[in-house]
Amino acid sequence: MPMNAHAPTLSVLVPAFNEERTIVQVLRRLLALGPLLKEIVVVDDGSEDRTPELVREMAACEPLIQFHRLSENSGKTAAIRCALEMATGDIIIVQDADLEYDPAEIPDVIAPIVAGHADVVYGSRFLVRRTTRVLYFYHYLANVSLTFLSNLLTNRNMTDIETCYKAFRAGVIKPLRLTSSGFGMEIEITALVTKTEARTYEVPISYYGRSYEEGKKIGMWDGVMAGLYIFYYNLVAPHLPAGRRYIADANGSLAEPDRGYVPASVTTSSVRSR
């Protein structure tokens, strides 16, 4: 007997900054997820290209797309902070708007939550390689180093903390009021979630990385900031009142009786939404 009566609903959060080349395709591929999907929450981060127009056009004829535009460019974390406030699904996952991650793999990423084993799942680009574009070694080294440093302070054996594919039971992530900026959310979320009792899993995913010529934006400064954030969000923030409150709230949500949704034998493809 499932621990609660309804099947889980899924909210996909899409932060978008100047992604006119890919946003339409990302949204089409997300809509192809079918009945699993409750909503797609797109937050445009003050784009200067046609991203907001393209999303508005699609949202006008597709009720599953919720759209909000930030008046000025504020960073991925700010976009996700806003999207989290709008999200209403039982399970929440982030989808970058640049097609480096394949929306068709979302059911695999959330499967451990749907099956009731996990409260948090990270899609890892390094756990087991599926399809992975060969690109920058220094970028890889930065990712591995940041994950290693984070693991040292969290005592978790994670393989890819900077991944875009982070999925959560809503009760774990909704109480978190993100305080970092830029791409700090990847570190902040990882640091605080690992202080909770959330059962965290990883799932291997593909990675269709882009080159700098194709629009890659992340740079060395983002890596330096991530390193500083690792120290701050692991050693300082959990002891501040807001950090303590978040950890207590997340643990509270984990104590709810409907911790699992459906028995492990039920696959995501048979899970209905709404």
Ligand X SMILES: Nc1nc2c(ncn2[C@@H]2O[C@H](COP(=O)(O)OP(=O)(O)OP(=O)(O)O)[C@@H](O)[C@H]2O)c(=O)[nH]1
Where along the sequence are the contacts to ligand X (CB under 6 A)? Answer: 15-17, 19, 45, 73, 75-76, 79, 96-98, 100, 210, 216-218
26, interface contact from ligand X, Mg ion, none, CB < 5-8 Å by kind: none
Nearer to ligand X, 104 or 235 (CB): 104
Q: Residue 102, interface with Mg ion (CB under 5 A)?
A: no
Q: Residue 100, interface with Mg ion (CB under 5 A)?
A: yes
Nearer to ligand X, 17 or 168 (CB): 17
75, interface contact from Mg ion, ligand X, none, CB < 5-8 Å by kind: ligand X
Nearer to ligand X, 100 or 119 (CB): 100
Q: Which of residues 58-97 bind Mg ion (CB under 5 A)?
A: 96
Contact 171, 255 (CB under 8 A): no
Q: Which of 39, 98, 160, 162 binds Mg ion (CB under 5 A)?
A: 98
Q: Residue 186, interface with Mg ion (CB under 5 A)?
A: no
Nearer to ligand X, 150 or 268 (CB): 150
Nearer to ligand X, 116 or 223 (CB): 223
Least distance CB 191 / Mg ion (angstroms) = 21
Least distance CB 164 / ligand X (angstroms) = 6
12, interface contact from Mg ion, ligand X, none, CB < 5-8 Å by kind: none
Which residues here bind Mg ion, judged by CB under 5 A? 96, 98, 100
